Structure 1
Amino acid sequence: MCFHVFGHTISKQKQKLSIKKFLFQFCGVLIAASVLALALDAYYSLLVPQFWLIFGFLAGLTIVAYIASYAGIKTGGELSVYVLMAAIFIKLIVSLLFVVIYLQKHRVNGTFFALEFFSLYFLFTAFEVKSLLLNLRPPK
C-alpha cells in the first residue's frame, strides 16, 4: 500500500534491515549512549571502573548476536526461530559470565554496577530485537 505526500511516494511496507543498515543505526545508538554516559560521569561521577570495557563488550556481543540471528533468519523455516532464540540466549549467558568474572576482579558498588550493566544490556538487546523484528515481517 502506497500513499503520496508532496509528490513523493511513501510505502507503508517496512524495508528489511540489512546488516549494513543495522550497523549504521547501531552506531547512532552507541553514540547516544556514550554521550549520556559521559554526561552522567561528568556531573555525578557514577560510572564503575572499566565502564568502557563493559560498554564495548556488550556492544560487540550485540553485533555478533545480530549477525548470527540475521543469518538464521535468512535460512528461513523453523530453523530460523531456533537460531534467533539461541543467539539471544547465548548472549544472555555470556553476559552473565562476564558479570561474574568482572565482579571477581573489581570491587564496585553493586547497585551502580547492576544499574549500568543491565541498562546497557537491555538498551542494546531492545535495539537488536526491534531490528530483528523488521526482518521477520512477511512481505506484503
Structure 2
Amino acid sequence: MFYLIYSGFLAIVAYLLSALFPDVTILAGKFWFVFAFLAGITFIAYVVADLGIKRNPETGIMAIMGSIALKMIFSMAFVLIYSLNTKEKGMVFVLNFFSLYLLFSFFEIYCLLRNLRHQNK
C-alpha cells in the first residue's frame, strides 16, 4: 500500500516539474516508460526480499542483498538497451534514471530495514 502511495507521489512530482517548467527539458522523451520499469523492478525486488525475510529471518539480509543485486543488473541492462535504441540527450536521461533509481532504492531499503527492526523486537 505504501509503495503505491510513494510511486504516485513520485509521478505527481515528475508531472508537476514538467508542467511548472515547460521551457526546460526536465524529463527524458520516454520518461514514463523508464518510470514504469523502475517502479516494476523495485516492486519485484521488494517482494522477493520481503518473502526472504519472512521465510528465514537469519538469512534475510542475503535476500535483501540478492534483490538489490538483481535490480542493479536488470537496471544496467535496461540502460544499455535504452541508450542503444534512442538518440536523445544523454544527460537528461542519466539524471532522470539515476534520480528515480535512487529514490525507489531508498524506499525499498527503508521499508525492508523497518521490517527487520520489527522482527528483532
Tell me by how many angstroms 1:69 deviates. Answer: 1.0
Q: Residue 123 of structure 1: CA displacement?
A: 0.7
Among 53, 66, 77, the residue aligned to 1:73: 53
CA distance in 2, matches of 1:122, 1:93: 15
1:126 deviation in Å?
Answer: 0.6
Higher helix share: 2
Question: Residue 56 of structure 2 aligns to which amino acid in structure 1?
Answer: G
Q: Give the whole-Å Cα distance in 1 for the aligned partners of 2:12 and 2:6.
A: 10
Q: TM-score, normalised by structure 1?
A: 0.75
Partner of 2:44: 64
Q: Distance in 1 between matches of 2:8 and 2:70?
A: 25
Indicate if the aligned counterparts of 2:18 and 2:26 stay in contact, CA closer than 8 A.
Answer: no
Give the C-alpha shift of residue 97 in structure 1: 0.3
The alpha-carbon deviation at position 37 of structure 1 amounts to 4.4
Alignment of 1:40-51 (within 5 A): 42-51=22-31
Distance 1:115 1:98 in 2: 15
AA aligned opposite 2:15: V
Larger Rg: 1
Alignment gaps of 5+ in structure 1: 1-20
Q: In structure 1, how many angstroms separate the alpha carbons of the residues matched to 2:92 and 2:20?
A: 12
1:82 and 2:62 are equivalent in the alignment: yes
**Corresponding residue for residue 124 of structure 1:** 104
- Alpha-carbon contact 1:22-1:131 (below 8 Å) kept: no
From the two aligned structures, give the one with the greater strand fraction: 1
Question: What is the aligned partner in structure 2 of residue 106 from structure 1?
Answer: 86
Other structure's SS at 2:22 match: helix
The alpha carbon displacement at 1:80 in A equals 1.3
The code of the aligned residue for 1:96 comes to M
Q: CA separation in 2, counterparts of 1:40 and 1:59? A: 24
Letter in 2 for 1:136: L
Please identify runs of 4+ aligned residues in structure 1 that moved more than 4 A: none
Count of residues in correspondence between the two structures: 120
Letter in 1 for 2:59: L
For residues 71-127 of structure 1, the C-alpha deviation after alignment (integer angstroms, 9 at most, x for no partner) is 111013332111111001100110010000000000122211111110110011111
Where does residue 75 of structure 2 map in the other structure?
A: 95
**What TM-score comes out, normalization by structure 2 length?**
0.85
Q: Percent identity?
A: 40
